[in-house]
Homo-oligomer: A and B are copies of this chain.
Amino acid sequence: MPSEPSAPSEPFPGSRPTLEAVAARAGVSRATASRVVRGGAGVREALAEKVRGAVAELGYVPNHAARTLVTRRTGAVAVIIAEPEVRIFSDPFFSRQIRGISRELSAHDTQLVLLLLDGPGDHDRLARYLAGGHADGALAFSLHTDDPIPAIIRRAGMPTVYGGRPAADPAAVRYVDADNRGGARAAVRYLRGLGRRRIAHIAGPLDQTSALDRLDGYREEQAPGADPALIAEGAFTVESGALAMAELLARCPGLDAVFAANDLMASGALRVLKEHGRTVPGDVALVGFDDMDAVAEVTDPPLTTVRQDVEGMGRLMARLLLRDLGRARPEQGGVRPEGDVRPEDGIRPEDGSAPASVITPTTLIRRASA
């Protein structure tokens, strides 16, 4: 005997209506009801209409667990963020990226499960989570050279896209990164165009590829044989920028420009420059990186800086992953093999090898500091 002879037109308090109830209500089999709920291909319109009616009256919503159990697809993507450093949350970088990711995922009815790892203790949890089949794919941010997380993810064997080029074996994975090197070059070139000749650099922590790439870009635009004393390493924080600046002033009192690897460090540098009686941009021109508006627009003077489209990068990460999951966006037109990502989205890395990673462009934003 099938469930209720006649389902109530209002959803039950507590237990939600099942497909069985919808089928009964519409006078069809569960199979047909299921077909209609999933798009209705191959069902006579008359019946489909009845089923849709029943769905509406009953307020039916598919049970996700049941569906996942049989399809083996969760409709969810894990976003993995390791945060050994507090820094991550004192700048809006991740927020922005996540917003881009979220937008793209929800456009494809995919849920975002956020995994914030607090330290090595959480690695087990991550492994268990991925193994448990909670998510169909993963988006991860590669932070440090020696991060064990990529290995854990690889072991889980699910499609993954990284945010930022991983330090280890970047050719083996898919990633989306800003054109850090190009952005740095543009910054230095701009300073040179201003007539500056003794351009210092405050680098980020050199176990992160973004910091390394910016340093590389800086070096490439320097006059050959430039003084290595013009480079100081910071940690992407305000304080470290201040420290580095003090060090640079001591070593090279004659510097007339500074390119800092991010805005936070630039703001620290700015403070120290003022304390030492240097005017900005008069005595020293200053350029940052990130265009983190909460900082760059707030300093005095506001920072000239290199902008990266963080939200766009997030969207791109999600899009790449969805493609791997076989859920490329339909409204985007036909999906060309390896072609979902259009030229405007970024620049392909030279190698052009298997996992098509994407490098997104940066722009120099002129404000008052240089």
Contact = CB atoms under 8 A, between A and B. Distances in A.
A131 B99 contact: no
Contacts of A114: 79, 98, 102, 112-114
Interface residues of A, number: 57
B300 A61 contact: no
A133 B65 CA distance: 8
A135 to B, nearest CB: 10
A264 B295 CA distance: 10
Contacts of A297: 238
Interface in A56-104: 59, 61-66, 68-69, 74, 76, 79, 83, 88-92, 94-96, 98-99, 102-103
Contacts of A270: 300
Contact of A292 (B111, B132, B294, B299): B294
Nearest to A71: B65
A123 interface: no
A3 interface: no
A64 B133 contact: yes
A61 B134 contact: no
Contacts of A66: 65, 69
A125 B112 contact: no
Given A16-B131, A65-B133, A131-B16, A116 B102 contact: yes
B92 A61 contact: no
A96 B91 CA distance: 10
